A and B are shown apart, each in its own frame.
Chain A
């Protein structure tokens, strides 16, 4: 959910950082305002424009030559970076936009993607306790699931 993410990230009053590649027009998605330099560096990344609760939603990015390995396949590291970026905002939204850090993330690579493919993440909140948030995301190219991730997030200052 772009707005929640932007409000949260906007709390530190940093301007959004431009990605090195221009954003494209995508049906149902708009470019995220990215304030983490590493996310902007690998971006643009997109979030769903349709109304949602910020806890179950879709995000996307277009695979290009910066994201692939020597065989031209999407690099697992980019899958993990995208997962961290999109599921991170789920955790922020789940905690009323309190600072959260990644405790643990597991990614299974169930398929592959190549340059030109649009990867869509379907992210969801699994469970929230006072101090820990559990999230998951599945990643698709068209109908094919190419990766799955689960992650745990720590709400800073809670125990």
Chain B
């Protein structure tokens, strides 16, 4: 994983479960990443589904904020579990915007360890307006 910095705008929950960092995937694509540490695990010593979904929601929300040019709120998040993560794995997530309307952003994201898929997720976010 190339250069990384602590992701901005981290909330109580996101800071607490992290650290989750911004990573540069090399081709200019912005992504988030984290390393699986003991408090992320389930009873089988693999990455807990709750942590994986929490990470996916952060990746989706970050891309939705960027697409909206401002604040967003999750309306729906759907996560499909395609593979397990294990301690020490470096997990990355990249999102792409499917469609942005005036009020809604549709996105999908892939959560991976290297080339191996852990999860595909889609999200629907509401653009927060101040009127």
Total A-B Cβ pairs within 8 A:
118
Give the size of the chain B interface in residues (CB under 8 angstroms).
Answer: 34
**CB contact between A109 and one of B10, B13, B75 (< 8 Å): that residue:** B75
**CB contact between B50 and one of A12, A80, A99, A101 (< 8 Å): that residue:** A80
A65 / chain B contacts, CB cutoff of 8 Å: 12
**CB contact between A107 and one of B17, B49, B76 (< 8 Å): that residue:** B76
**CB contact between B48 and one of A9, A78, A84, A107 (< 8 Å): that residue:** A84
Contact A77 B75 (CB under 8 A): no
Contact B75 A103 (CB under 8 A): no
A109 / chain B contacts, CB cutoff of 8 Å: 73-77
The interface-forming segment of B23-31, B34-42, B97-105 is B34-42
**Does A66 sit at the interface, judged by CB under 8 A?**
yes
**Does A129 sit at the interface, judged by CB under 8 A?**
no
**Does A23 sit at the interface, judged by CB under 8 A?**
no
B90 CB to closest chain A CB (Å) equals 18
**CB contact between B81 and one of A35, A69, A103 (< 8 Å): that residue:** A103
Given that A37-B42, A39-B48, A102-B81 are contacting pairs, would A78 and B76 also be in contact in the complex, using a CB cutoff of 8 Å? Answer: no
A76 / chain B contacts, CB cutoff of 8 Å: 57, 61, 74, 77
CA distance A148 to B121 in the complex (A): 17
Given that A38-B39, A38-B50 are contacting pairs, would A67 and B77 also be in contact in the complex, using a CB cutoff of 8 Å? Answer: no
**CB contact between B11 and one of A37, A68, A81, A105 (< 8 Å): that residue:** A68
List the B residue with the shortest CB-CB distance to A108: B76
B127 CB to closest chain A CB (Å) equals 14
| Chain A residues touching B, majority SS | mixed
**CB contact between A14 and one of B43, B61, B75 (< 8 Å): that residue:** B43
B81 CB to closest chain A CB (Å) equals 5
List the A residue with the shortest CB-CB distance to B37: A37
**Does A70 sit at the interface, judged by CB under 8 A?**
yes
**Does A18 sit at the interface, judged by CB under 8 A?**
no
**Does B66 sit at the interface, judged by CB under 8 A?**
no
Further pairs besides A66-B13, A81-B48: 17, Cβ < 8 Å: A35-B43, A36-B41, A37-B40, A39-B48, A39-B50, A69-B11, A75-B13, A77-B17, A77-B57, A80-B57, A80-B79, A84-B50, A101-B49, A103-B80, A105-B49, A107-B76, A109-B75
26 A-B pairs with CB atoms under 8 Å apart are A36-B41, A38-B17, A38-B39, A38-B41, A38-B48, A39-B48, A42-B16, A42-B17, A65-B12, A67-B13, A69-B12, A69-B14, A70-B10, A71-B11, A75-B11, A75-B12, A75-B13, A76-B57, A78-B54, A80-B79, A81-B50, A81-B51, A99-B44, A101-B49, A104-B78, A106-B76
